[in-house]
Amino acid sequence: MLLAVVSLMGLAQAQEPIKSAPGGPLEVTASRGVTARDPSTIIHEGETFWCFYTGRGVPTLHSKDLVTWERGPRVFDKAPEWIAKEVPKNDGVYWAPDLMKVGSQYFLYYSVSSFGAMHSAIGLATNPTLDPKNPAFKWTDQGPVVQSRDGGDFNTIDPAVFLDDDGKLWLAFGSQWSGLKLVELDPKTGKRLKPDEPMVPLAAVSPIEAVYIYKRKNHYYLFVNRGTCCSGNKSTYHIVVGRSESIKGPYLAKDGALLTDGGGTLVVDQKIGPLTGVGHAGIVEKDGKSWFSCHFEADDRMDGRATLGVMPIQWTEDGWPEVLPPDKAK
């Protein structure tokens, strides 16, 4: 089965599942549902796929097939106590979460900030399961992992967690100013392994944010957003990629340009038919195939509401990703 783009319309009271339409490329219908902005990497536990996204308390979606989605529980019913002290301007909406299972725990990282501010933090919550029906289900706040302050040169938002084949755990993050950073984490705690160790620069030249790291064969792939967000169908958000033989870089585009110098090979452009402003890359495997997840800032067919996308991804012979409309998948 080929998956169409999954489209989730704006906040509503009804709880009907949200289902994409079969049919041609980017042909979408949707029942009442939710906007999924800044989606996490989609992960699965058992037969259920989960997606976490920007919103009050970190809302969630779950699916059995990547096509039909239902709303799940929020991570937090009330704000963790540390936030009021460390990021007092935050309004209870947490941005761009990402998660991964490490050992016996799920590590969930989320941004705590306010619009346009450098005063931010990335928090951590842990849970032994994603299944709300499991008696062990409980999100536990673990406090801040990395923080930034006004007057610095980086911003701690848009976390992306990566577990390497050698067991090392990494967190990439950042936005604007001096760009995207990388720090090593302790796989036992999810916190920084060496808090005083300098951060590794990954990519730069503003506007930039929404990092995602993926490993394939002998290369690490760094997906990033360039362009501006949060302007509906006027957004210029688009996704580019670079690759490296080391997680620390340097990451180079297909033409050899460094991502730290503003380079990047285009993966998804800012406009695809009625969809505008693609952001927050992720890759999930299902039935032996790879699928590229993202959001679109606006869908013209839904009065400019945001849209969650799930599209086929394949790789060229020389090892570069290609994201395709569903009818183009091989």
The per-residue pLDDT for 136 is 98
User: What does the alpha-carbon distance between residue 280 and residue 250 come to, in Å, rounded to a whole number?
Assistant: 21
- Nearest of 308, 324, 325 to residue 7 by alpha carbon: 308
d(C-alpha 99, C-alpha 109), whole Å: 6
SS (H, E, C) 164-187: CCCCCEEEEEECCCCCEEEEEECC
* CATH T-level topology, domain 18-328: Tachylectin-2; Chain A (2.115.10)
Q: What is the pLDDT of residue 25?
A: 34
Answer whether the bond into residue 135 is a cis peptide, omega within 30°. no
Q: Please tell me the distance from the alpha carbon of residue 154 to that of residue 157, in angstroms, as a whole number.
A: 9
Sort residue 290 into left (φ over 0), alpha (ψ -120 to 50) or beta: beta
pTM above 0.85, yes or no: yes
The amino acid occupying position 134 is N
CA dihedral sign of residues 253, 257, 258, 260: negative
Active site residue 131: no
Taking only the tens of pLDDT, the chain with its 330 residues reads 333 333 333 322 223 444 443 333 333 322 223 478 999 999 999 999 999 999 999 999 999 988 888 999 999 999 999 999 999 999 999 999 999 999 999 999 999 999 889 999 999 999 999 999 999 999 999 999 999 999 999 999 999 999 999 999 999 999 999 999 999 999 999 999 999 999 999 999 999 999 999 999 999 999 999 998 888 888 899 999 999 999 999 999 999 999 999 999 999 999 888 888 999 999 999 988 999 999 988 888 777 888 888 889 999 999 999 997 644 544
Burial of 120 (0-12, 13-18, 19+ CB in 10 A): buried
Give the residue carrying structure tokens 């990439």. Answer: 172
- Active-site entry in 38, 158, 184, 299: 38
Q: Which residues pair with 225 in a beta bridge?
A: 209, 239
Which pLDDT value is given to residue 28? 30
Contacts of 195 (CB under 8 A, 6+ apart): none
| 265-268 vs 271-272, strand pairing mode | unpaired
Domain spans in the chain, listed from the N-terminal domain onward: 18-328
Looking at residue 325, what is its pLDDT? 62
Q: CA 232, CA 115: separation in Å to the nearest integer? A: 16
- Joined together, the tokens standing for residue 291 give 């699928």
Active site residue 38: yes
Cβ contact 284:41 at 8 Å: yes
Q: Running DSSP on this structure, what letter comes out for residue 25?
A: T
Q: Which is catalytic among the residues 98, 184, 209, 299?
A: 209
Instruction: Provide the pLDDT for residue 181.
Output: 98
What integer pLDDT is reported at residue 301 of this predicted model?
73
Dist CA 206 CA 112 (whole Å):
21
For residue 117, what are its two tokens?
């501010």
Structure token pair of residue 144: 């801040």
